[in-house]
Amino acid sequence: MKKTEKRRQQLLMMLSHSLAPITGESLAQTFNVTRQIIVNDIASLRADGYPIASTVKGYEIRNTPTQGILRTITCQHRSEDIRIELETILQFGGIIHNVAVTHDVYGELTAPLPIHTIADIDTFLIKQKASTNGLLSKLNNGLHTHLIEANTLEDMDAIIKALKELHMLASVNE
């Protein structure tokens, strides 16, 4: 992974786990870069679909309000089956908000994964193939969670049923 991409991923993690906004100056010091580089990183991440807001107190990731049913699902599958998993969720009216894994040292590692369309899946898979680090789920033999959203309980039930039939679903948390 390139230095810039690694910094941006770390920046996302910091913003995702922060309970308060983080100033551009503080981020610049953390990464030993100029504030302008942080501004460019934020702009690039926003272009990639991450909901990063600029406030007078700094940058923060805003959780967009949801209109539907939310569930955290735990899945396990081979890396070759990512497209099937994500397309199945979309097929039944769902969207994917994030991906998370449990690490034995760091605890839960969560990354935004805003997947609303097939084009989002394509973009994600291109990045995944280009990555030298691979998927978070490789840390746990393919075991990972997603926060997913569906418009109705019926849609959510259809997603869960389809993932069970594909033998990808390990559990569901309401």
Secondary structure in 3-state letters for the chain:
CCHHHHHHHHHHHHHHHCCCCECHHHHHHHHCCCHHHHHHHHHHHHHCCCCEEEECCEEEECCCCCCCEEEEEEEECCHHHHHHHHHHHHHCCEEEEEEEEEECCCEEEEEEEEECCHHHHHHHHHHHHHCCCCCHHHHHCCEEEEEEEECCHHHHHHHHHHHHHCCCEEEEEC
Lowest average pLDDT, out of 1-5, 47-51, 143-147, 153-157, goes to 47-51
Count of domains for the chain: 2
Query: Is residue 72 within 8 Å of 110, Cβ to Cβ?
Result: no
Which residue, 18, 43, 61, sits at the end of a domain?
A: 61
Which residue, 42, 61, 80, sits at the end of a domain?
A: 61
pLDDT in tens, 114-139: 888 999 899 888 888 888 777 766 66
Task: Looking at the structure, tell me whether residues 152 and 105 fall in a common domain.
Answer: yes
Domain span at residue 13 reads: 3-61
Task: Looking at the structure, tell me whether residues 41 and 17 fall in a common domain.
Answer: yes
What is the pTM for the complete model shown? 0.62
Question: Within 13 Å of residue 120, how many CA atoms lie on the same side as its CB?
Answer: 18
**Nearest CA among 61, 57, 55, 79 for reference residue 12:** 61
